[in-house]
Structure 1
Amino acid sequence: MAQTILKVGNFPLPDELFVELRKRADFYDENTLSATERLETRANTDIVLGSGGTVFQEADFATCPRLKGIVCYSVGYDGIDVAAAVKRNIFVTYAPDTLNDEVANTAMMLLLCCTRQAKEAQEYIEQGKWLHGPAYPLTTSIDGKKMGIAGLGRIGKAIATRAKAFNMEVGYYGRQQQAEVTYPYFASLKDLAAWCDVLMLVMPASAENTHCVNAEVLAALGSQGFVINVGRGSLIDTEALITALETGQIAGAGLDVFEHEPEVPAALQHLPNVALLPHLGSATVETRARMTKLVLRNVDAQLQGKPVITPVPGTRKQ
């Protein structure tokens, strides 16, 4: 009997991954099914294919009595109820180490776009202002500045390596100090913000982290400080950020993620001291190819009754 893989969530799937999954099992995209078809398909689903934006909670597990595992085409799994999966002995996999460097590159690009005012400088040319002068105003260097990284995991460490290459000092904040890390550790996000010139956010979404960058933290960052977010949009209190940018309480912001994406507040779109990206962090051909290979390895392991390659910590391997 053929096994069934069900794609849950609204995310693009590379043609190669689609073709390969169809070779391995009966494959369905829930977005193409009627409500009745969804229930019928879920009842026969063995593997759910999800992403960072997929929501799969307690009630969803109840609709999938045959479910053996959830394979995430992403590093994030914020919307997956991992505790419910563990309770049912269902594995959950993710795609660690496939996109660390690309997200780190994106973080540095956002930082440079903010500090060197890339968007504004291009508009200066497009509007013909360079032809008549005066010269474009001086911008800010990151050389010798301090970067405070909130979330020194794999991606955070890749960003730190790049920051050091730009001759920046690095400090970090996290749930606990890492014994093997020599960068200075700060026990609170506010203390980190007060120390640094650039507050780099790389933390995952959680109830504890929601709006952890609030008005108080932004005030500590100060009028010469920049905040860059390549973690999750919910980390920042968006209204507090807009106020801080509009009043000059901070110097600028670079954002790849948003609290209610793809919706982006108009105020952010029109501010001159903001660099925005539509969640491009890891969106390169090369990164997606690595993620595709890892997803297929995890799917193949399950179909062959072998331990999965990259289980989410705390979930089963086989």
Structure 2
Amino acid sequence: MESISVLMTWPMSSYLETELEKRFKLLKLWSYPSLADFVKENEYVNSVKAVVGDTRIGADAQLIDSLPGLEIVSTYSVGLDKIDLRKCKQKGIRVTNTPDVLTDDVADLAIGLILAVFRRLCVCDGFVRNGSWKKGDFALTTKFSGKSVGIVGLGRIGSAIAKRAEAFGCKISYLSRTEKPYPNYKYYSNILDLATDCEVLVVACALTEETFHIINRQVIDALGPKGIVINIGRGCHIDESELVSALMEGRLGGAGLDVFEREPEVPEELLGLENVVVLPHVGTDTYETCDAMADLVVQNLEAYFQNKPLLTPVV
């Protein structure tokens, strides 16, 4: 398969690069100033049969149309919002992602964010480091155990978050397109009803047209001044300007955010709030999971070019 050209969109994983280079002719899009320059200057552009992207740079319509020989997109992510799935279907281009292997890490991080917001862990750390503890005790914080947790999207990751929250004695409710076979969880078909009935609202769904800004002013106000929002999905799930306003005005109790609308840009107002924990989109970023994701990307490509069934097909 060394003669097969694979285009990687940006340097997402050195291990993945190494594994791809062992098997394919790896082309690196970031080595060129732009896609237009790659198309103009690279002699292998017409022979590119596979694209490897992720949630930052995937395979949009422009990229797909620029590669006449493209046959498969293998994304280094579970999310598909950076891939033009409609165009892939039209052109018969296969698409794979990396589900399951990252579920535990993202679910663990969601619980970590909840604890960090309620127990003010980041602020506590600063309290010790800056010497304030020598002057007096830290203020009381809020308990997590026993809280009502609402989950937007009860797929693989949402279910794993629910399982972890149950271990804290939390009551679980959820929003999903259809009711799931979890008799101990309360199902809602309306986001406002879910937000009204929970103290912690966790966003764990895929980003689609329907879920764009699913957390808006009405939802935030339904959650209320003692509630917190946790987002480990995509930044565009939340109307960021409304979130900032609610936190600044005290209409929302707090937020734990691993993703943002215009990454890596983060609203300046959030950085000064002690009831907000912000992370640089690290939900899947452990050595173990990143390597497992890379292996799955490569295995899907190998399966495709050996005319074997794809391991995790999307299209």
TM-score computed with the length of structure 1 as normaliser: 0.93
The answer for the alignment partner of 2:128 in structure 1 is 125
- Aligned-residue offset at 1:182: 3.8
What aligned pairs does 1:223-242 form with structure 2 within 5 A after superposition? 223-242=225-244
What root-mean-square deviation, in Å, do the aligned CA atoms of Structure 1 and Structure 2 show?
1.5
The answer for the alignment partner of 1:4 in structure 2 is 5
SS in 2 for 1:170: strand
The answer for the alignment partner of 1:243 in structure 2 is 245
CA distance in 2 between partners of 1:256 and 1:78 (Å): 17
Query: Residue type matched to 1:5 in 2?
Result: V
- Aligned-residue offset at 1:240: 0.9
Task: Report Cα offsets for 1:61-102 as digits up to 9, x if no partner.
Answer: 222111110011111121111111111111000001010000
> Residue 13 in 1 paired to residue 13 in 2?
yes
TM-score computed with the length of structure 2 as normaliser: 0.94
Going from structure 1 to structure 2, the CA distance change for 1:85 and 1:181 (only over 3 Å counts) comes to farther
The answer for the alignment partner of 2:254 in structure 1 is 252
Tell me which moved more, 16-25 or 224-233.
16-25
What aligned pairs does 1:289-300 form with structure 2 within 5 A after superposition? 289-300=291-302
The answer for the alignment partner of 2:98 in structure 1 is 95
- Aligned-residue offset at 1:56: 2.2
- Structure 2 stretches of 5 or more lacking a match? none
The answer for the alignment partner of 1:25 in structure 2 is 24
CA distance in 2 between partners of 1:36 and 1:210 (Å): 32
The answer for the alignment partner of 2:73 in structure 1 is 70
Does the 8 Å contact 1:172/1:185 carry over to 2? Answer: yes
CA distance in 2 between partners of 1:59 and 1:51 (Å): 16
Does the 8 Å contact 1:48/1:69 carry over to 2? Answer: yes
How many correspondences in the alignment?
310
Going from structure 1 to structure 2, the CA distance change for 1:247 and 1:253 (only over 3 Å counts) comes to same
Task: Report Cα offsets for 1:238-261 as digits up to 9, x if no partner.
Answer: 111111111111111000000101
Going from structure 1 to structure 2, the CA distance change for 1:126 and 1:83 (only over 3 Å counts) comes to same
Does the 8 Å contact 2:95/2:313 carry over to 1? Answer: yes
- Structure 1 stretches of 5 or more lacking a match? none
**Counterpart among 299, 307, 310 of residue 308 in structure 1:** 310
CA distance in 1 between partners of 2:254 and 2:114 (Å): 9
CA distance in 2 between partners of 1:13 and 1:176 (Å): 36
Does the 8 Å contact 2:39/2:66 carry over to 1? Answer: no
Tell me which moved more, 102-111 or 174-183.
174-183
